[in-house]
Amino acid sequence: MVYRRCLQLLRDDAEASDLMQDVFLRIYSALERLDMESPSSLLWNTATRLCLNRIRDKRRRGLDVDSSSLLLSIACAEDEHDDYETKNVLAKLFSKEPESSRTMAVLHFVDGMTLEETAREVGLSVSGVRKRLRGLQAKVKTLEVK
């Protein structure tokens, strides 16, 4: 599942393999602090987030990125909520920090999850997800949040 997810987003066998390892290592290193209610969601969302970061980093370095324009737009969108990497895992101890808006956008626009499914996936209300996606929509004009 994780490898396939990485391959789907990165479209590169070697990178997918590399990211897959990273996903497991990240989760392993924070295993005791993470919410394990839905391990599949955790793996899926972590893979999504790391792949988005990889795509964004490559783009910033001027490297070719073999991604759809939609995914590229989402990956490179500025997201004020996207501080998961630096503090979210620990911040979860004091408050449930929601998943980044970019990950939500991929779940909804790329994976085809409904707003309800996306909300369930990231532990937010539907209105909360809609609000976050609309915030991202202001930066990614091709997104249309219903």
Partner 1 sequence: MIPDWKLERFLTGDLPEEEMNKLRELEANDAIFANRVKMLREDNKAILSKLSFEEIAEKIAEMDAENAAGKCSSVNGATSGTVTDSVARFRILKLASAAVLVLAVALVAFFAQRETTVMNERVGSDVASVQETQNTQVALAETQSDTRIKGLDARMEVWKKTSAGIAQLNDLDSVGEGDEIQLRYAVPEKCFGLLFSMDGNGALTLHMGDGVKAIELAPGKMNSLPFAYKLDDAPYFEKFFFVTSPKEFAVEENDVDKLLKRSDVKVIGFTLKKAGK
Question: Which residues contact partner 1 (rule: CB under 8 A)?
Answer: 1-5, 8, 17, 20-21, 24-25, 27-29, 31-41, 43-44, 87, 90-91, 93-94, 107, 111-113
Tell me how far, at minimum, the Cβ of 41 lies from partner 1, in Å.
Answer: 8
Smaller CB separation from partner 1, 20 or 119 = 20
CA distance readout (Å), 117 to 81, 110, 125: 20, 13, 10
In terms of CB distance, is 37 or 144 closer to partner 1? 37
Closest to partner 1 by CB, 26 or 139:
26
Cα torsion 108, 68, 138, 48 to 10°: value is 50
Closer CB to partner 1, 25 or 138, in the complex: 25
Residues 6+ apart with CB under 8 A from 7: 13, 16
Report how far apart, in Å, the C-alpha atoms of 51 and of each of 5, 56, 95, 125 are.
9, 9, 25, 25
In the complex, the smallest distance separating the C-beta of residue 141 from partner 1, rounded to whole angstroms, is 25
d(CA 58, CA 6): 15
Least separation in angstroms between CB 86 and partner 1: 8
Contact 20, 6 (CB under 8 A): yes
Measured from the CB of residue 116, what is the shortest distance to partner 1 in angstroms?
A: 13
Report residue 69 as tokens. 């324009």
For partner 1, which is the closer residue by CB, 43 or 139? 43
Q: How far is the CB of 40 from partner 1 (least distance, A)?
A: 4
Q: What is the residue type of 18?
A: D
